[in-house]
Every structure is written in C-alpha cells, then in structure tokens.
Chain A
Amino acid sequence: MLWAIIGIAGTALAISILLAILLGYTLFILWERTEKIYLPRLSECLAYIFYKPISTLSRKHEHFDRYLIECENRVMQERFRRVRGKKILVAPQCLRAGDCPATLDPKMGYICKDCGRCVIAKLSKEAKKLGFEFYIVPGDSFVKRIAKERKPAGAIGIACTGELSRTLGVGMRMGVASAGVPLLRDGCFMTEVDPDAVLEKMRECGSLQS
C-alpha cells in the first residue's frame, strides 16, 4: 500500500513538473509570437525555477534570457514606478570606446571624461539630470558592493543578457526595485546599448505618485 501511495505521489509530482515546464515554454513561445508577457509573475517564476529545461527546449539561450529579463522588468514595474529615494544606474565598462581615457577609482569604478567617443557620456549627463547616481563598473562583484554600500531604493542595470537575467533575479530577491536594459551587442569590448531605452527606464523610475 505504501509503495502505491509513493508511486501515485511521485507520478503526480513528475506530471506537475512536466506540465509546469510545458506551461513555462508555452508562455515563452507566446512572447516570441506576440511580444507580450502573459501572466508576468507566473512567467517569471516558471522561467527562473525551470531555467535550464525551458532554455534547453527553446534552443535559443540568449533569446530566452531576453524573455526572462522582460518578465523580471514586468514583475518589478509597479514597485519601480513608485520608487522614492536613492536611484542608481549601473553600466558595464565594456560600453567604453577602445581608446577610452576614463580613469579607474577603487570606490566609484570608471570615471567618465565626457570625451563623447561612446554612449556613456550621454547616459552620464541624463542620469545626473534625472537624479541618478551613475556607476561604470568593471565587474559584477563591484555591483554587489555598490548595492550594499549605497542601499538604493531603485536600480537600473545595463549588461549582456546572461549577466542581466541573473543579476536582476538577485536584485529582486534582495528587495531592490530594479529594471534591466540588455545590450544590443555584447562581446566584452565596445559593446552597444540603445540609449533611448535606458532614458525611458530612467524616466519611468519613480514616475508614479503614491
């Protein structure tokens, strides 16, 4: 009798897990076809928990990472729009031009010289206008240190899709109202981001009055 109960429970669990993976995959396919996130909390939860099997099924890891980032942005959207207090914008050092004259500070990261050779100067100006602290970071441990020291209420991260999908998830679970803007082109050197997408996110942060 006990074996039968275990068998029934185990079968039910296995079927539930399979159905959850299929549901997660279906929600991803719907996003691919319609560019809309359906049931964002459920989509984000399934995509995060079953990341490996669903991304393997999709056979497009980078595309799946973009989907996860959008899910995470949607889940955080309400909180992100209601941010009050310190806001930070974090950009990766790989956005810099090849002959970037920026200096490196152990506390602040790279200090932009506003030379205009890459998009960072524009982002830095707009961040200042919109009340954001702006950091150009050499790596993700630096981001963690800034988050611990500065304790922001809201944060926008720019990074490649793999790093961003992982970091946003960690930020969410740390209770920081975060949003991510993925790079248009990665590769760790002279990467690209859509500055208008970043500006849009900066304007969105704290845009709702409570």
Chain B
Amino acid sequence: MRVFAIIGQLLTAASALIILSVSLSLVALAFPRYAPFKSFWVVILEWLYTPLKWLFHAVGNGQLLDGAMVRLRNLSNRARFTHSNRRVFLAPHCLRSIDCPAKSSRDGLLCTNCGKCVLGELLEKARRLEYKMYILAGSSFIPEIIQRDKPEGVLLLACSYENNKVMMHLRGLATYAVNLDHDGCILTQVSDTKVLTAMKMGLGD
C-alpha cells in the first residue's frame, strides 16, 4: 500500500508537470516572439502533435497549429539559419502555372524561367545568392538531397502542413520556412518579396 501511495504521489507530480508543460507550450505557440527556450516547447509540441491536431480540427482549423509551430520553429532556428553558409532552397511544384512547360526529373522540376509563375524569378534570385534550389513534387526526395548536398541551412517554401512536417524530420538542421500565402496544391501563391527577405537572412546586400 505504501508503494502505491509513493507511486500515486509521483504520478500526481508528473501529471502536474505534464499539464504545466502542455499549457506553457500552448502559450509559447500563441506568443512565440516572447517565449524563452523555444526549442524545448517545439519538442513538447511535437510529442503532442497528433492530439493537438485533432483538437484544432475540432475547433475548426487544423492548419492553425501547423502555421503556429512553423513560426515558433523559425524563431528558434533564426540565429542558426542566419549564420549558415551552404544553403539549399526547397520550393513546391504547386506554384507552377497551369500551362507550365517545365519537364520533371529525378531532381524535381526543370524550370525554364518562362515567366508564367514566380518560380523562375525565385530560381534566378536563388542562383545569385548561391542557393542550390529544387522545385519538388513531394517531400520523399528531401532526405537524399540532404545526404548528397550536406547543407548547413535549408530554406523551405510550402504550405504550413508540409513545412512543419519537413522541419520535424530535419530537426538537426538549421531550417527556416516561408508559408505559401495561398495553398491548395494547384496555382498556389507566395509573395516573392517575403521569400527574398528570408533568402537574404545573414547574407548582407
């Protein structure tokens, strides 16, 4: 009986600690700029991702959680990304226009810079800033890119769900993400200014 009493006290203390951690991590999610120990709250939120996603879906918008986690991760990774040198830029194929003439390859879309969408412009800017850019149709090729190119920094451009998922898998790397302004897998949109600002972080003029 005494053993169970001790277990009971320990469990109660552990439960209180868990409830406190969960509450504080949700506060960090709501006010990411002011949260200390950002990477710690990111870890807590990753553990709780599935039940939190259900909760956010239940109240109307599961994407809110992904967007908020990406913001928190960006703030947590900002310094490391800013100081990274060898960088890779991963953009989604869904930004392409309806009549995009680009061919697909193992390394992603081979953009011809036809001017029908924002990808050509981003490709030019990425080259000037010495990023290795890939326009991808999915995330399963990303581990091969990371293994082959061994980047210090990875700039991601995608919908918040994909950004959060990839950042979770690449948690050892200095990742920084830009969320699309308008998603939906087809004719998606992003402000090129927003992407350029992220690309230039730590690179001066």
Chain A contact residues, CB within 8 Å of chain B = 2-8, 10-11, 51, 93-94, 96, 98-100, 103-106, 109, 137-142, 145, 160, 162, 186-190
B186 near A138: Cβ-Cβ < 8 Å: yes
A–B complex contacts, Cβ < 8 Å, 10 sampled: A3-B8, A7-B4, A7-B5, A7-B7, A7-B9, A98-B105, A104-B100, A138-B186, A189-B106, A189-B108
Is A96 in contact with B104, judged by CB distance below 8 angstroms?
yes
Interface residues on chain B, number (Cβ under 8 Å): 34
Is B205 part of the contact surface with A, judged by Cβ < 8 Å? Answer: no
Interfacial chain B residues near A109, Cβ < 8 Å: 186
Binding site for A on B (CB under 8 A): 1, 3-9, 11-12, 50, 93-94, 96, 98-100, 103-106, 108, 136-141, 159, 183-187
Q: Which of B9, B106, B136 contacts A3 (CB 8 A)?
A: B9
Q: Is the CB of B185 within 8 A of A139?
A: yes
Distance, CA A4 to CA B106, complexed state (A)? 61
| Shortest distance between the CB of B148 and any CB in chain A (Å) | 14
Closest A residue to B110 by CB, please name it.
A98
Complexed CA–CA distance, A94 and B137 (Å)? 7
A162 to B166, CA, bound (A): 13
What residues of B have a CB within 8 angstroms of the CB of A6 in the complex? 7-9, 11-12
Listed from nearest, the 7 A-B pairs whose CB atoms lie closest are: A7-B8, A139-B185, A7-B4, A188-B138, A6-B8, A3-B8, A7-B7
Give the shortest distance, in Å, between A46 (CB) and chain B (any CB). 15
> Once the chains bind, are B141 and A10 in contact (CB under 8 Å)?
no
Is A98's CB under 8 angstroms from B4's CB? no
Does A141 contact B183, Cβ atoms closer than 8 Å?
yes
Cα separation A61 to B186 with both chains bound (whole Å): 30
Contact of B185 among A7, A99, A142 (CB under 8 A): A142
A100–B141 Cα distance when bound, in Å, is 20
Please name all residues of chain B whose beta carbon is closer than 8 Å to the beta carbon of A188 when the two chains form the complex: 136-141
Q: Which residues on the B side are within 8 Å of A5 (C-beta)?
A: 8
Q: Is the CB of B103 within 8 A of A99?
A: yes
Closest to A92 in B: B138
> Contact partner of B4 among A8, A106, A142, CB < 8 A?
A8
Residues of A within 8 A of B4 (CB): 3-4, 7-8, 11
Does A104 lie within 8 Å of B12, measured CB to CB?
Answer: no
Q: How far is the CB of A163 from chain B (nearest CB, A)?
A: 8
Shortest Cβ distance from B15 into A: residue: A10
In the complex, how many angstroms separate the beta carbon of B122 from the nearest chain A beta carbon? Answer: 19
Partner of A98, one of B6, B94, B99, B104: B104
B94 CB contacts on chain A under 8 angstroms:
138-139
Instruction: Closest A residue to B3 by CB, please name it.
Output: A7
Output the least CB separation between A92 and chain B (Å).
8
Contact status B11-A7, CB under 8 Å: yes
* Apart from A103-B98, A109-B186, A138-B94, 11 more pairs, CB < 8 Å: A3-B12, A5-B8, A7-B3, A10-B7, A99-B103, A103-B99, A141-B183, A145-B184, A162-B140, A186-B140, A187-B106
Name the A residues within 8 Å of B184 (CB-CB). 141-142, 145
